[in-house]
């Protein structure tokens, strides 16, 4: 005979144990158990699902997750498309917005016109409340927000 640990491992690889006292809440099939502590002394409905029901539930959850990710990606592409096709009428700017744009230009030049920048790059805009100033520009439609 092989040592106890080796024998138990060998049996665990080739055998499946089911508890007669636990049934699946969905299909009423017996629940597979992995060790003795999972076994119950009296018949009862299990809180966990049988292997087949769990696989079905996992597949449904994965499909929902993929559908949600695809929908978010579609919304992101649509949002970025709207952001990039937007035009700004600079003649209608308020004095405060014009001053914020000038300060932003000095804070992040040359990245302002050549590509993109992050809010963290705008530390030269003001000593504090940089996020609030950027939010004002974003809400006015003067800064294009590109999440990617």
Q: Decide if pLDDT at 2 tops 70.
A: no
- Judge whether 129 lies within some domain: yes
Q: Regarding predicted confidence, which is higher, 53 or 132?
A: 53
Cα–Cα distance measured from residue 31 to residue 48, given in angstroms and rounded to the nearest whole number = 8
DSSP structural state of residue 90: G
- Judge whether 5 lies within some domain: no
* pLDDT for 89: 80
Beta bridge partners of 44: 22
DSSP 107-120: HHTTHHHHS---GG
Over residues 28-40, mean pLDDT: 83
- Judge whether 12 lies within some domain: no
* pLDDT for 146: 72
Beta strand 17-23 pairing with 30-33: antiparallel
* pLDDT for 110: 67
Stated pTM of the model = 0.55
Full domain range(s) for residue 55: 18-62
SS3 19: strand
* pLDDT for 73: 92
Over residues 3-27, mean pLDDT: 82
Residues 102, 134: one domain?
Answer: yes
* pLDDT for 134: 79
Res. 115 pLDDT band, cuts 50 70 90? low
Query: In the chain, what percentage of residues exceed pLDDT 90?
Result: 14
- pLDDT, tens digit, for every residue of 40-95? 888 877 778 888 899 999 999 999 999 999 999 999 989 888 877 878 787 888 88
Residues 97, 129: one domain?
Answer: yes
Task: Count up the domains in the chain and report the number.
Answer: 2
Residues 86, 113: one domain?
Answer: yes
Residues 133, 106: one domain?
Answer: yes
Residues 55, 87: one domain?
Answer: no
- Judge whether 50 lies within some domain: yes
Instruction: Provide the residue count of the chain.
Output: 148
| Average pLDDT taken over every residue of the chain | 81
- Judge whether 4 lies within some domain: no
């Amino acid at each position: 005979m092989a040592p106890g640990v080796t024998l138990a491992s060998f049996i665990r690889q080739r055998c499946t144990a089911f508890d007669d006292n636990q049934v699946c809440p969905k299909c009423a099939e017996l629940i597979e158990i992995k060790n003795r502590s999972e076994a119950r002394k009296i018949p009862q409905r299990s809180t966990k699902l049988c292997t087949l029901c769990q696989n079905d539930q996992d597949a449904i959850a994965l499909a929902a997750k993929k559908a949600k990710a695809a929908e978010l990606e579609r919304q992101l592409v649509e949002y970025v498309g709207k952001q990039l096709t937007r035009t700004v009428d600079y003649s209608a700017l308020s004095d405060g917005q014009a001053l914020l744009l000038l300060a932003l230009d000095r804070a992040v030049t040359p990245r302002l016109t050549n590509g993109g920048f992050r809010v963290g790059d705008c530390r030269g805009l003001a000593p504090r409340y940089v996020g609030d100033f950027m939010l004002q520009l974003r809400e006015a439609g003067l800064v294009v927000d590109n999440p990617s």
